[in-house]
Structure 1
């Protein structure tokens, strides 16, 4: 079987490619690649040229239509480093392809600034949102980023400055390998004030003489932050889900990094905010009907630097009608309405999804448990009695919190 070759080249075309690879490209009956890649070998190829689609389904059809012809997929840089090779080989089977890499633009960029990259945090903003990588940059010594035409170096620099991450030297490496190659070095403030060509790699190197700027203390814990660090409305002050109950509830929700979470009756958003910190690549929908609490959800999200909390104003279940099905649902309530809400939320859960309910009244616990048992034999129930130590005169005493109940079930 003739294998399809996935070949990487640079902006210098075939000049740095070995003769055997050049011959493979020249003898191809069909050559697939981006317009830019195909233009680099335009005078060397006599076979059919196919511009690869940006749509992955169409691209798959283009590869499939190659048939038994000698074919080459031309890729800029290293096809296996944020390139097409992973998608193509995973989709069609690795035994049908041969990968011949070129030096990636990331390698070239680190070489140009004379920094090693074996200990760097590397990412591609075409695949990851800027907000999701900021905290990883905060603790990194070196960073290499593929930017995009929509998120350029100036925007990245400004976003870092907005988070008080100002202790990096920045390099912007444009058009690597081409005649108009350019490397710009500057502080983040200087980079934020400039514009750059779309084809660039951005490198950050931590300045050794400057201290880290940690996040505000309120966000140092992923969950279980003290109640008093959350903004709360005066009439409802103290009604927040306590740190201890919140910690148990979030643990029982089984939140993954990319989970879709519903917080029904979100209040001031303490559960939503901490769920968002756990589901850093997911989304948390904070469903709350009180407009004042909606403002508190936004304020607490900003205070904890989480950008993946989406406030949804309205009453359940109407408010969640157009939301994506959740992996995890947290419901807090006290009246009989919570039973209906629990059943409807369970129906919307994805398979293996987790529903956790927090009740402050014992009256509903047994009935809610029986309702949930009609859907699953494994309904877990906890009664939570917590007392917090406090000093009274010279003695240690304990202040008891109001008892609370948790129920959890997996769909």
Structure 2
């Protein structure tokens, strides 16, 4: 094992809050007191103007910060930043650029942490974003599946612009908080409906928090340009998070191809959720019939709404629990089974009894335990049984770089029922 030892003096990165020098820990005040050079933006340097160290102002250009630190590396230099330097701060970029061994990071409480504390909401599951380096479109996508969102806004994208954009996408089911100047004497927390926030202006130092109202389903954007399959998730009305999230677009496309639908196919969608698979199956099998089977009354209502929005006449929402719910339905050519319950193997066994010879079945499974059970069943009684793992990542823009955030993997187990022997 080799140890990496830097020959250059350590550069301290110290976080500071809006309450200034008085709010720092004894460790941070000692480091700043010993500094020969303090680098930072003019606003944070104002908190340490009484110290004797040389003050070097820098802007937001990361390259400029690197050059400044390199220029003063022979001295005892401190980079002073706001809040936690490792939370949407400059530290990660500098450590990647110059090496972690060059730095020692002394964090302060981040303004995001303070904001959630002020409104007394947990932030462990919240979607957090900095609009300085992430597009507002990524927030719109996250809003459809998040219970809470925390945003560092910018002068170009202030809270009123965020509120207007959310309202423009029919995402009006959030209660909004705008926390200004946190930790300072003129701290202010404003709360209200999005339409109220959209009419107000706020100071540049703010954190915006959106908290989803309880029991409000998502609403789709305009259906203009809808596709026969592979429609964006946004165009379907769907349940709130953790109740009935629909089959994602990429998984839906693969599942529909594995079902090998014909234009006159009879299709069962068991555990239909919001009905996205049913609706796209109906648009492909336009001369056939699709039955969206769902036991949750709320989701059943959403299926009916989505059917109406897409104007598909051959899709029928069926309220009930399998297998009783399909007792009077015609035998299917294709079956799609979703859900995460332990009973999925039993549901597959019973569904296979009704599947027409030569018909195809696809089960969407998220756990490896259910995967093993269902694959063993299909491998025993079906032809061409196979498993497809779908692992999708989408790009996000952070600190001048594109990174990929992975969704949870899911498994599609598929097979064809043998033809009857003559």
Task: Report the TM range for the smaller structure's normalisation.
Answer: 0.5 to 0.7
Q: 1:201 aligns with which of 203, 207, 218?
A: 207
1:51 aligns with 2:66: no
Q: Who is 2:101 aligned against? A: 95
Distance change >3 Å, CA 225–CA 148, structure 1 → 2: closer
Q: Shift in Å at residue 132 of structure 1? A: 2.8
Q: Distance between the aligned counterparts of 1:111 and 1:207, measured in 2?
A: 19
Deviations 1:128-176 (A, max 9, x none): 1112321111221000000000111111101101100010000000111
Distance change >3 Å, CA 71–CA 192, structure 1 → 2: same
Question: Could you tell me whether the CA contact under 8 Å between 2:9 and 2:73 is conserved in 1?
Answer: no
Q: Shift in Å at residue 86 of structure 1? A: 1.0
Q: Who is 2:17 aligned against? A: 10
1:42 aligns with 2:42: no
Q: Who is 1:132 aligned against? A: 138
SS at match of 1:194: coil
Question: Could you tell me whether the CA contact under 8 Å between 1:219 and 1:225 is conserved in 2?
Answer: no
Deviations 1:16-44 (A, max 9, x none): 2122220110110111011011101111x
Question: Could you tell me whether the CA contact under 8 Å between 1:10 and 1:177 is conserved in 2?
Answer: yes
1:151 aligns with 2:147: no
1:80 aligns with 2:86: yes
Residues paired across the two proteins, number: 234
SS at match of 1:122: strand
Correspondences of 1:206-217 after superposition (within 5 Å): 206-216=212-222
Q: Who is 1:26 aligned against? A: 33
1:105 aligns with 2:111: yes
Distance change >3 Å, CA 217–CA 56, structure 1 → 2: same
Distance change >3 Å, CA 223–CA 129, structure 1 → 2: farther
Q: Who is 1:182 aligned against? A: 188
Q: Where does the alignment leave 5 or more consecutive residues of structure 1 unmatched? A: 230-246, 252-411
SS at match of 1:190: helix
SS at match of 1:117: coil
Q: Shift in Å at residue 214 of structure 1? A: 3.3
Q: Distance between the aligned counterparts of 1:81 and 1:191, measured in 2?
A: 26
Q: Distance between the aligned counterparts of 2:189 and 2:136, measured in 1?
A: 22
SS at match of 1:103: coil
Q: Distance between the aligned counterparts of 2:228 and 2:35, measured in 1?
A: 54
Deviations 1:280-310 (A, max 9, x none): xxxxxxxxxxxxxxxxxxxxxxxxxxxxxxx
Q: Who is 2:298 aligned against? A: none
Distance change >3 Å, CA 210–CA 4, structure 1 → 2: same
Distance change >3 Å, CA 51–CA 141, structure 1 → 2: same
SS at match of 1:98: strand
Q: Who is 1:300 aligned against? A: none
Q: Shift in Å at residue 77 of structure 1? A: 0.2
Question: Could you tell me whether the CA contact under 8 Å between 1:218 and 1:225 is conserved in 2?
Answer: no
Q: Who is 2:69 aligned against? A: 63
Q: Who is 2:126 aligned against? A: 120
Distance change >3 Å, CA 122–CA 220, structure 1 → 2: farther
Deviations 1:49-79 (A, max 9, x none): 1112332222211011112211110001000
Question: TM-score of the superposition, structure 1-length normalised?
Answer: 0.53
Q: Distance between the aligned counterparts of 1:101 and 1:220, measured in 2?
A: 48
Q: Shift in Å at residue 216 of structure 1? A: 4.9
Q: Shift in Å at residue 88 of structure 1? A: 1.1
SS at match of 2:64: helix
Q: Where does the alignment leave 5 or more consecutive residues of structure 2 unmatched? A: 1-7, 236-252, 258-422
| CA-based RMSD | 3.0
Distance change >3 Å, CA 67–CA 191, structure 1 → 2: same
Distance change >3 Å, CA 3–CA 190, structure 1 → 2: same
Question: TM-score of the superposition, structure 2-length normalised?
Answer: 0.52
Q: Distance between the aligned counterparts of 1:215 and 1:159, measured in 2?
A: 12
Distance change >3 Å, CA 137–CA 221, structure 1 → 2: farther
